[in-house]
Amino acid sequence: MAGDVINIGDSDFQKQVLDAQQPVLVDFWATWCAPCRAIAPSVEALSAQYKGQVTFAKMDIDANQDTPQKYGVRSIPTLLLFKGGKVVDQIVGAVPKARIEDVVKKNL
């Protein structure tokens, strides 16, 4: 994956997301999901734009099922923004880059 987006899994979710010092936007996705692939360039661009302020992460729901289940991810793409170890915002579905950026800016 290009850009500053990190891949995370169930095993490192606590360390990478819940214990993070800055906000973390987690993109729950799957390789077969066309809308997930459609928003990926926006997530990548925002990860470069907000480097050092927000961490951007992707979690493949097929390879990691515990975390999406714990957070009630029922459809993808689902973007959850964590701050201080808690979900503070969410986006479900393919949305324009501006909508994702609004959520990021609102929670800085």
| pLDDT value at residue 91 | 98
The stretch 45-49 carries a mean pLDDT of 96
Q: What total number of domains does the chain contain?
A: 1
Q: List strands edge to edge, sheet with 6-7.
A: 6-7, 55-60, 24-29, 78-83, 86-92
Give the active site residue among 36, 40, 57, 100: 36
Residue 45's Cα: distance from chain center in Å? 13
- Residue 20, domain extent: 5-106
* pLDDT tens, position by position, 55-102: 999 999 999 999 999 999 999 999 999 999 999 999 999 999 999 999
CA–CA distance, 47 with 54 (Å, rounded to integer):
7
| pLDDT value at residue 106 | 96
Is 36 among the catalytic positions?
yes
pLDDT reading at 1 higher than 60: no
Is 81 among the catalytic positions?
no
Q: pLDDT above 70 covers what percent of the chain?
A: 97
> The whole model's pTM is what?
0.96
CATH of the domain at 24: 3.40.30.10
- For residue 96, say if its preceding peptide bond is cis, omega within 30 degrees of 0: no
Give the active site residue among 8, 33, 46, 103: 33
